[in-house]
Structure 1
Amino acid sequence: MQKPIGIFDSGVGGTSIWKEVAKMLPNENTIYLADSANAPYGEKSKEEILSLSIKNTEYLLNAGSKIIVVACNTATTNAIDHLRSHYDVPFIGIEPAIKPAALQTKTKKVGVLATKGTLSSSLFHNTSKLFAEGITVLEQEGKGLVELIEAGKIDSPEMRSLLATFLDPMLKENIDCLVLGCTHYPYLIPVLREMLPEHINIIDSGEAVARQTKAVLEQNNLLSDSENRPDHIFYTNADVKVLKDLVDDPTAQISSKDF
């Protein structure tokens, strides 16, 4: 069997990244860990996030992963430097797409919806400082969004009420770009499109992460040469229903497992 691309997230949200990776690299096997029992990471301390990221990484390495995608903004910003310095495989991280938002904005005002763990990280602040000079970045912690997505309540009255609370202050400040700084949040795009004015660009990192994954595999001569249908294996340490609904792939092997 060709070695898989390993992917982990604090829960089901990173499947938004998995979809982009699987689309761009259709011959690659993948193994995905949804650490839903510990979601959301954004509310945890840096030490807890690092410990969970190490646990997930070691599981994926023991499963033979040739590269690991940290499909979680909070884990990337708090743990990826440590992971890169302690393990021999390449790591692909995720950070909010401040740069493309800064390039696209006409009002010079950009909203960022992310977790507390991402917004408070030094990587986020360094990225904002580097790419958003002259741009007003309005940060909003998406407290409670991950829990609703993990519960399968993506288009629910509770979700819309919460989103309205978060979006209204940014809209009053005249943002024209909204950066989704958590891999769970792309699943909210249909709801956000209904709630936001048409001119507002919604920006996430999924396609850019898939491109970077492909580039790093090429650089390290790790691309699969198999022409067989790939295996996509998903493990969650919580109920499998929401994960199955979001993956929506009849060929995927999805099961509940302690890890």
Structure 2
Amino acid sequence: MGNSKPIGVFDSGVGGSSIWKEIHKLLPFENTIYLADSKNAPYGNKSAEEIIGLSIKNTEALLALDCKMIVVACNTATTNAISVLREKFDIPFIGIEPAIKPAALQTVSKSIGILATKGTLSSALFSKSKEFTRDISVIEIIGEGLVPLIEAGKLESDEMILLLKKHTEAMIAAKVDYVVLGCSHYPYIIPQLKKILPENVKIIDSGEAVAKQTLSILLKNNLLNTEEKTPTLQFYTNAETDTLQFLLKEYSKKISVEKKDF
């Protein structure tokens, strides 16, 4: 069986490691390979052509490492490139989309906020999700400047707090009761967001939903690893390794983090 082959995960940097954590929590025996394309981060302000090109490059790198399926742990790459990837490569792909539907269904104030990159908010896939928000007010904010700070590990910096205060002003004014995170980097700043947003505001990200979908696709394609032994958890970045090691410090004894050109 090819079931012990790794699950490949890629993102425009370190943020998708928030998705990887949820996948590893749900599927602790799966071998995984994570590619952080930090050299080209952020993807959010690139053209669709550039994003598709980078997504193909990352996919080819993971296929060369014998991955059995690929999780596109980047909202911008999912919304702009996943249909191309599915057409071009004969392997299951899982994408990540902002969790707009649960927020739209659960909001009491009928007002929700979406914090995402420009590349996600302007994509066709994102505009399709608007069918869920017809009767509610949606405050869309481009999280300008957040990804570079997260990539630099500056989660608690004054610069980060000022930026988050600026980005959440319109949401607070509109009395949103849900904030949807539309970028896999953003779960790392949930503690900071909680300090700024009113207490009643719930923050939703896509990590858990992506992990459940990964399990479902593995089962459907008969790809689940049935060997219950310690998995190999490899992380590769084409920039410095410090931020990735910092964000994954609770896994430091189980993972390997290396710099690699891809």
The one-letter code sitting in structure 1 at the alignment partner of 2:258 is S
What is the letter of the counterpart of residue 115 of structure 2? L
- Of the three residues 103, 106, 111, the one matched with 2:105 is 103
Aligned residue number for residue 167 of structure 1:
168
CA drift at 1:170: 1.1
CA offset at residue 188 of structure 1?
A: 0.4
Counterpart of 1:202 in 2: which secondary structure?
Answer: strand
1:43 is paired with a residue whose SS is: coil
Aligned-pair identity in percent equals 60
Q: CA deviation at 1:10?
A: 0.2
1:115 aligns with 2:117: yes
Aligned-pair CA distance for 1:37 = 0.3
> Gaps (5+ residues) in structure 2?
none
1:55 to 44, 54, 57: 57
| Structure 1 residue 102 displacement after superposition | 0.4
Corresponding position: 1:13 with 2:20: no
Aligned-pair CA distance for 1:228: 1.2
Matches within 5 A, 1:7-156: 7-128=9-130, 130-156=131-157
- Deviation of residue 247 (structure 1)? 1.5
Cα distance in 2 between the residues matched to 1:228 and 1:174 = 48
Q: How many residues align structurally?
A: 258
SS at match of 1:41: coil
Distance between the aligned counterparts of 1:215 and 1:247, measured in 2?
Answer: 25
Give the AA of the match of 2:92. Answer: P
Q: Distance in 2 between matches of 1:76 and 1:20?
A: 18
Equivalent residue for 2:259? 256
Q: Aligned partners of 1:219, 1:247: CA distance in 2, in Å? A: 30
Q: Distance in 1 between matches of 2:97 and 2:161?
A: 25
Asked if 1 retains the 8 angstrom alpha-carbon contact of 2:52 and 2:77, the reply is yes
4+ residue runs over 2 A deviation: none
* TM-fit CA distance, 1:251: 1.4
How far, CA to CA, are the matches of 1:149 and 1:104 in structure 2? 29
Instruction: Measure, in 2, the Cα distance between the counterparts of 1:150 and 1:181.
Output: 16
Instruction: Determine if contact 2:117/2:144 at 8 Å carries over to the other structure.
Output: yes
Structure-1 separation of matches of 2:125 and 2:64: 29
Question: What SS does the aligned partner of 1:238 have?
Answer: coil
> Is the Cα contact below 8 Å between 2:139 and 2:170 reproduced in 1?
no
CA RMSD of aligned residues (A): 0.8
- d(CA) in 1 for partners of 2:28, 2:224: 11
Code of the residue aligned with 1:234 in structure 2: it is F
Q: Which amino acid aligns with 1:140?
A: I
Query: How far apart in 2 are the matches of 1:98 and 1:174?
Result: 17
Task: Give the TM-score taking structure 2 as reference length.
Answer: 0.97
CA apart distance, 1:111: 0.3
Q: Distance in 1 between matches of 2:150 and 2:191?
A: 13
Distance apart, 1:36 and its partner CA: 0.2
TM-score scaled by length of structure 1? 0.98
Unaligned runs of 5+ in 1: none
